[in-house]
Structure 1
Amino acid sequence: MSAAEVASAVAAGVRAVVPDAHVSELPMADGGEGTLDALLAVWGVPARDVVTVDAIGRPRTARYGVSPDGRLGVVELAEASGLPHVSDVAPQPLRAHTRGTGEVAAAVLDAGVDEVLVCLGGSASTDGGSGILTGLGVRLLDDRGEPVPDGGEGLARVAHLDLAGLHPRARDVSWRLAVDVTNPLHGERGAAHVFGPQKGAAPADVAFLDDALQRWAGLLEREAGVAVAHVPGAGAAGGVPAGLVAVLGAQLEPGARLVADAIGLRDALERADLVITGEGSFDSQSVEGKVADAVGALAAQAPHRPPVVVLAGRVLLPAERARAAGIAAAFSIAPGPVELEELMGRTRPRLTDLAATVTSLVLASRPHLPPAPVEPSDDARERSSA
């Protein structure tokens, strides 16, 4: 379900208990998939299309956005280089790349923007941002002066950066990178070890990619004079920030906070009695820059600190860590042992039922707001009859 669909399902659960409740539905994103749509919705402008390639070089049409005043361009990495677009073939963890995203970024520069926001997340590759640089005209050369292959495979051989063909506007604009993690570029918490297996990398591939990223960091420091290896968040999206920080002077920003500012979340929290947010798997990564983390932190800053409740597919984070992140409670939509396909097929009604339950619990502590009688949902009737 999209963020907007989840928000709608949760709102239905709240209104089932309090029919006249004022519910603000604010679809969120954390810098990954969905960030472009969230910003386009706020701006009220359509997406633009560009023909590019996917993470393994096949033709693909990707979307990007430009703000109404024409000053800010938005590139969502998952549009061109996302993992879902190459899920129809066997994973290629060493060859997958972000060159298509670089070509989208070039189109944004051609549109005349002054600032480029690159939304990271959902990538299929571990290439340290080398593909984006290639798409912008940079040549990655080996020690014989020959171009290296795309992807992490090429990082193990690159010896020199040729910037002569870099897009003429690439260094005239400001670059911001929306990230949802704080992982460094390489090492045990780096891009290859933490995220590589999700992209099909076997243990040997992980070791190869980690060494390649370390080599890449050394090259960037020698040729661009920028140390990127231990920059928090440099490991996002397969290490994309490394190349863009070193060559383009890009700045990293928490993606969830960026979207929160764009949609006016802070103002909404100041008016809220209850805040419900969501996550697929509510675990340790959820409180390291993702949506739940941002919502919890901002709610804690609101004058009356409204309680924040997380609804998730599964809940793995200990309660004390959740509370430390400003989350009052977290609940799984799974009613008990259940197959994943069945749970996915019932996501919307389970979200609605669980939101109604949470609302009733909050009302129980606030007797001045009595709940209205509620007709059980079809999902609830099934459990009751069973």
Structure 2
Amino acid sequence: MKILLAPDSFKGSLSAALFCDIAQEAILTQLPDAIVHRCPLADGGEGTVDALIANTGGTRVSLSVTGPLGDPVEASYGILGDGATAIIEMASASGLPLVPPPQRNPMHTTSFGTGELIRDALSRGCKQIILGIGGSATHDAGAGALCALGATLLDHNGDPIPAGAEGLLLLNRIDLGELDPRLADARIDIACDVANPLLGENGATAIYASQKGARSEQMEVLESALARFASVACQHCKCAPEFFSLPGSGAAGGLGAGLAVALGATLKPGFKIIADTLKFEARLDREHYDLIITGEGEINYQTLEGKLPVGVARMASPRKIPVIAIVGKIGEGAEQTHAEGITSIHSIVDGVCSLEQAMEQAPELLERCIGQLMRLWNASARRAKTNEE
């Protein structure tokens, strides 16, 4: 029997790699003759760098960059085994956890450090940048990142605008003439799993600004800041206004839009970027797995929107490979994922406990859940063999 472990992380409790460690041991305890392959995955959010480094034999690069409040922070990114592809999580340099709750204010936070990570990757010869943009603290339409890469954003007097959304209110011109020339030979793929446009009732301000510390009286101003960026970008970056209505342009406080219009970056579903990079479908065709075990912290109706377990299942389904999803919580609408190829869903939580307890005990709970499933699988296989005889 050949089994593929292809999980996402359980945020805050289990990395995808640790999931694989625990699951492999539990499987081999019950099925000693099983062949277990490990492929820790991610969809562009937390754990993406670790997953791609692990799968490609890559390396991690650490450096000091400008944090969201303008102070130095220690950040890191990965260079894959090919030596030419960088995987960057925006949160490492410009993430919300880097801002103490009392200081969270998207009027002032900057994405400059994210641009510094991209610049460093270019300096190391990377020709492809994969950028995961979940967990941002910023609302500057990527202005900070663009400045770090050589762009100049100017006010009516020809002076550089201040950092953050407050600077966008003063924006009059975007000058790309001094962009890092190495960008011309590089491809930037943004792993984006949200469909929000830049502006409007489903835009970056309305949906995400409050999570970054915005107060109710700031919402109109923050929306005006992004609208100003869009207006000026249409003049100086040769894009149509309709561009800012595209799904994903509002991701990470508009960074998706900013990097797309100024650098030609592409917005793609995170899991698709990761799966393509790892040649995941080719692996399924080559290895002929009998079972795939995937998982994440919670599975629900939102999982249908390109989240990792459904992404795995959609690739496995035409190949007739059963997929078991192991999760922390089975949420509302989880049953809808069966139509996408997930054979069965199992929660590691088998009794009444708090979220804190479940997260703390996650390794033990996962081991027990996998062990019980493998006992059932083994018993079913033995019975099928007896019936054949």
Residue 127 of structure 1 is matched in structure 2 by: 140
* Residue 149 of structure 2 is aligned to residue 136 of structure 1: yes
- Cα deviation code 1:163-195 (max 9, x no counterpart): 243223233422222223333223333333333
Task: Tell me if structure 2 keeps the 8 A contact 1:55–1:82.
Answer: yes
Task: Tell me if structure 2 keeps the 8 A contact 1:185–1:234.
Answer: yes
Percent of matched pairs sharing the same residue: 38
* 1:107-256 correspondence to structure 2 within 5 Å: 107-227=120-240, 228-256=243-271
1:89 Cα deviation from its structure 2 partner: 5.3
Q: Comparing 128-137 with 232-241, which one deviates more in the overlay?
A: 232-241
| Secondary structure of the corresponding residue to residue 183 of structure 1 | coil
Give the whole-Å Cα distance in 2 for the aligned partners of 1:209 and 1:48. 34
Residue 77 of structure 2 is matched in structure 1 by: 64
Amino acid at match of 1:28: L
Residue 353 of structure 1 is matched in structure 2 by: 368
Amino acid at match of 1:276: I
- Cα deviation code 1:251-279 (max 9, x no counterpart): 22222122223334324545222222122
Task: Tell me if structure 2 keeps the 8 A contact 1:269–1:275.
Answer: no
1:5 Cα deviation from its structure 2 partner: 0.8
Give the whole-Å Cα distance in 1 for the aligned partners of 2:175 and 2:68. 22
Tell me the TM-score normalised to structure 2 length.
Answer: 0.84
Give the whole-Å Cα distance in 2 for the aligned partners of 1:310 and 1:209. 40
1:87 Cα deviation from its structure 2 partner: 4.4
Give the whole-Å Cα distance in 2 for the aligned partners of 1:131 and 1:220. 15
1:337 Cα deviation from its structure 2 partner: 3.6
Give the whole-Å Cα distance in 2 for the aligned partners of 1:335 and 1:90. 39
Residue 99 of structure 1 is matched in structure 2 by: 112
Q: 5+ unaligned residues in a row in structure 2: which ranges?
A: 1-13
Tell me the TM-score normalised to structure 1 length.
Answer: 0.85
Counterpart of 1:327 (choices 342, 346, 350) is: 342
Counterpart of 2:273 (choices 249, 258, 267) is: 258
1:349 Cα deviation from its structure 2 partner: 0.9
Give the whole-Å Cα distance in 2 for the aligned partners of 1:361 and 1:185. 49
Task: Tell me if structure 1 keeps the 8 A contact 2:310–2:337.
Answer: no
Give the whole-Å Cα distance in 1 for the aligned partners of 2:200 and 2:20. 37
| Secondary structure of the corresponding residue to residue 37 of structure 2 | coil
Residue 300 of structure 2 is matched in structure 1 by: 283
Amino acid at match of 2:255: V
**Would the alpha carbon gap of residues 268 and 366 (structure 1) be closer, same or farther in structure 2, given more than 3 Å must change?**
farther
Q: Comparing 321-330 with 194-203, which one deviates more in the overlay?
A: 194-203
Give the whole-Å Cα distance in 1 for the aligned partners of 2:103 and 2:282. 46
* Residue 33 of structure 2 is aligned to residue 20 of structure 1: yes
* Regions of 4+ moved over 6 Å: none
Give the whole-Å Cα distance in 2 for the aligned partners of 1:45 and 1:135. 25
Amino acid at match of 2:267: L
Q: 5+ unaligned residues in a row in structure 1: which ranges?
A: 371-386
Residue 381 of structure 1 is matched in structure 2 by: none
- Cα deviation code 1:27-58 (max 9, x no counterpart): 10111222222222233232223321222112
Q: Report how many aligned residue pairs link the two structures.
A: 368
| Secondary structure of the corresponding residue to residue 59 of structure 2 | coil
Task: Tell me if structure 2 keeps the 8 A contact 1:129–1:239.
Answer: yes
Give the whole-Å Cα distance in 2 for the aligned partners of 1:161 and 1:288. 34
* Residue 315 of structure 2 is aligned to residue 298 of structure 1: yes
**Would the alpha carbon gap of residues 357 and 215 (structure 1) be closer, same or farther in structure 2, given more than 3 Å must change?**
farther
**Would the alpha carbon gap of residues 207 and 43 (structure 1) be closer, same or farther in structure 2, given more than 3 Å must change?**
same
- RMSD (Å), alpha carbons: 2.6
Task: Tell me if structure 2 keeps the 8 A contact 1:279–1:292.
Answer: yes
Task: Tell me if structure 1 keeps the 8 A contact 2:65–2:75.
Answer: yes
| Secondary structure of the corresponding residue to residue 34 of structure 2 | coil
| Secondary structure of the corresponding residue to residue 23 of structure 1 | strand
1:320 Cα deviation from its structure 2 partner: 4.2
Give the whole-Å Cα distance in 2 for the aligned partners of 1:212 and 1:252. 22
Task: Tell me if structure 2 keeps the 8 A contact 1:55–1:80.
Answer: yes
**Would the alpha carbon gap of residues 152 and 326 (structure 1) be closer, same or farther in structure 2, given more than 3 Å must change?**
farther
**Would the alpha carbon gap of residues 276 and 195 (structure 1) be closer, same or farther in structure 2, given more than 3 Å must change?**
farther
Counterpart of 2:94 (choices 53, 59, 81) is: 81
